[in-house]
Amino acid sequence: MRILDPSGAARRSEALLAIVSAMLKHSLFLAALPIASSCVIDDGAQPHVDLDLQTASSEVIRGMVQTERGVLIPGTVVSLPAKEDGTIIVMTQGSLELSDNTGDAWRPDGHSGRFGRFDWSVLYKQSLENLLLTFGLINYNLPNGLEFPFGERGSTTELLFEASTHAWGVQPAIRFNYDVDEVEGLYLQFAVSKRLEFGDDWNLGLDLGLAWMDDEQAFWQYAQVPATSGVADLRATAKLTYAIDQHTSAELELGLSEVIDSEFREWFELLDVDPSQIWVGLGVRWSY
């Protein structure tokens, strides 16, 4: 049931213009950030930088498999300490296609060696005793969105709010992602995480999340027509990390995603997309 929209030079030009426009808007936002942050950053505060490079056997976002083939996922995180136990964070992440064939998946075929998505985030974290609050903006960009087989998709921006704490030996959290741009819809996730350390060099991170989305998100993420709200995806990951040296670590990840709502699952079957996904990832991280 794929509604394939043939691509052409004109559509590629439109996609490129959309990417450039999103980058310019984000650059202007980042240019204004130092002015706004000067009120909350101590003189002499030093940023912390994480560089991450991962490969994964597939990529799944909010229950929808983006590609069933391999991807290369580079990312950066710049954290700047602020006053009163706060932190300003600027993040980027991309997903580079490693095959021209995406399989039975969301993204279009024919883009090996090109980015299928890239995201920008500007966040602020505030620690309040045993409560950690995070809020900010996330901008999503889809370079090949005009060719999506289930309908055109472009760039959009979400407002994020997250509250987490430590209780019963784990870290529970609730996350609100509300799209303030193209979608105007809500994605709500309840999550819990646990980190286990084995000596000085090994640790295991376990994450489990269950999400709900409204009908606007269901149309944007799943192309569901008519769109309905419901419990979206159950997502679980286990990441084993080994510290190679003071600045470098290697990572092995195993993840699974399961779409829960019966109406969503029936819709996935109509799209010939599997609502149950498992993937494996390998990566290396540099921290300075």
Q: Which range has the worst mean pLDDT, 103-112, 143-152, 180-189? A: 143-152
d(CA 158, CA 61): 15
- What does the pLDDT read at residue 40? 75
Side chain identity at residue 48, one-letter code: H
Q: Which CATH topology does 9-287 take? A: Porin (2.40.160)
pTM exceeds 0.95: no
Q: Where are the beta strands (DSSP E) in the chain?
A: 48-56, 59-61, 64-67, 71-82, 86-97, 115-128, 131-141, 156-165, 171-179, 186-198, 202-213, 230-243, 248-259, 276-287
Mean pLDDT (whole number) for 63-91: 96
Q: Encoding tokens for residue 100? A: 């021209």
> Which whole-number Å values give the CA distances from 119 to 45, 157, 158, 242, 251, in the listed order?
26, 10, 11, 27, 22
Q: Encoding tokens for residue 76? A: 């950066």
Question: Is the preceding peptide bond at 74 cis, omega within 30 degrees of 0?
Answer: no
Residue 3 has pLDDT above 60, yes or no: no
Side chain identity at residue 158, one-letter code: E
Distance between alpha carbon 107 and the CA centroid of its chain, in Å? 15
d(CA 97, CA 146): 16
pLDDT tens digit string along 83-122? 888 999 999 999 999 999 999 999 999 999 999 999 999 9
pLDDT tens digit string along 204-260? 999 999 999 999 999 999 999 999 999 999 999 999 999 999 999 999 999 999 999
pLDDT tens digit string along 126-144? 999 899 999 999 999 999 9
**Three-state secondary structure along 178-243?**
EECCCCCCEEEEEEEEEEEEECCCEEEEEEEEEEEECHHHHHHHHCCCCCCCEEEEEEEEEEEEEE
d(CA 47, CA 136): 18
Mean pLDDT of the chain: 89
Q: Encoding tokens for residue 43? A: 């003189």
d(CA 92, CA 102): 23
Residue 54's contacts (CB-CB under 8 Å, 6 or more residues apart) are 72, 73, 74, 75, 251, 253, 281, 282, 283, 284
- What does the pLDDT read at residue 50? 97
A 10 A CB-CB count for 102 gives 24
Kindly indicate the confidence band of residue 37, based on its pLDDT and cuts at 50, 70 and 90.
low
Mean pLDDT (whole number) for 192-209: 97
- What does the pLDDT read at residue 45? 84
